Amino acid sequence: MSQPLSDETIALVKATVPALEARGLDIVHEMYARLFQNSEIRDLFNQSNHGDAGAQPRALTGAILAYANNIDNLAALAPADERITQKHVGLQIRPDHYPHVADALLGAIKAVLGEAATDAILAAWGEAYWFLANILIAREGRIYGEQKDAIGGWNGWRDFRITSVVRESSVIKSFILTPADGGPVMAFRPGQYLTFWFEIPGHPPVKRNYSISAAPNGETYRISVKREPQGLASGWLHDQAEPGTLLKVAAPAGEFFLPDHPQRPVVLLSGGVGLTPMVAMLEAIIESGSDVPVHYIHGTHDRETHAMRGHVRALAALSPAARITDFHQTPLASEIEGRDYDRAGLITEEWLLTNTPVGEADYYICGPRPFLRASVSALSLAGVPSDRIHYEFFGPADELLAV
């Protein structure tokens, strides 16, 4: 167990907040430049999130500032810490990686702040870094142990073979994955994701997370992937991956998931490819025979981009407690309301608050950042407690502590 941070360290770290507010992003860019000189460390990261326009440097800048501001109240960062540990486990971060980050971070602070980064300041940040690192390392170790001991579980990268490919819409394909070793697959909680290591010719190793889009069955996983503009991994999957292709996969991870036995009404709210964890959740609820009310609400552009509509409708037909509402933002001229979609336009705050049980439901939300921000804000302002608003998003979260 880590020793508590000293009062002196807490005071020194909090005293650096103004400098972090002014130069934090510069420090982070310098840190990553130093870190990525080591190709082994560089390959652990999703490079699409880096660079001047990338989300990860901004996320880490906000994370460091949040840590400094809350260093005397670390309980406030507990949910963020859990998200980071889950991401680290997916990426196969190990204890021996942490010293590289420490050296890069402290070196960056010194390089950017110059004489203001005194020996005392650097020592304080070193102590603060390792205090948090040891918390994360301990939690990650427990998760790795649980994965290894689970039926069908594993550590590291396991080969899975694509056994079938299904075109779900004009932009989304599903891939059914079976272990190449013929063994069972680890159970997961609907909403969790798999991390993939892609080896694409002409590129360094590529890491991506994709939500599992089917309920657990002990034999296969399904992911449903949208082709992103200039998306290296998604483009390769859509154009090159076929039945028989082998993929390197890490065990399921993630802190966004449906409880085993929901006790309150469930609202599954998604935009675009954000439907993937929602389909897994809906399948799990229907297959369990639960009578908990579930409302599946999905928004997409039109009939051509709408994935899994028939499958979702067939699932809902199996349960009188399930209700489906589809929104098409810009329906095609040939589409008919009531046949191809339920409502035209965007999912509005007014509609959501009027047509879902705001006073009692758990909300599970996934989709692009603007969709997520609008949905979470609307529910929060309507008085839905934070412990009933659960969300997953794509890429790093600027407001979360993420190393």
Q: Please identify every residue annotated as catalytic.
A: 98, 140
Rounded CA-CA distance 341/357 in Å is 22
Coil vs helix vs strand at 169: coil
The residue assigned the tokens 């297959």 is: 287
CA distance 48 to 27: 19
CA angle 225, 59, 125 (to 5 degrees): 140
The span from the CA of 294 to the CA of 255, in Å, is 21
Collapsed DSSP state (helix, strand, coil) of residue 66: helix
Helices (H), 223-305: 232-239, 275-288
Give 327-334's long-range contacts (Cβ < 8 A, gap of 24+). 327/297, 327/298, 327/299, 327/300, 328/299, 328/300, 328/301, 328/302, 328/303, 329/299, 329/300, 329/301, 329/302, 330/301, 330/302, 331/302, 331/303, 332/302, 332/303, 332/304, 334/303
b vs e for 153-171, b when ≥16 Cβ sit within 10 Å of the residue's Cβ?
Answer: bbeeebebbbeeeeebbeb
Q: How far apart are CA 384 and CA 67, in angstroms?
A: 27
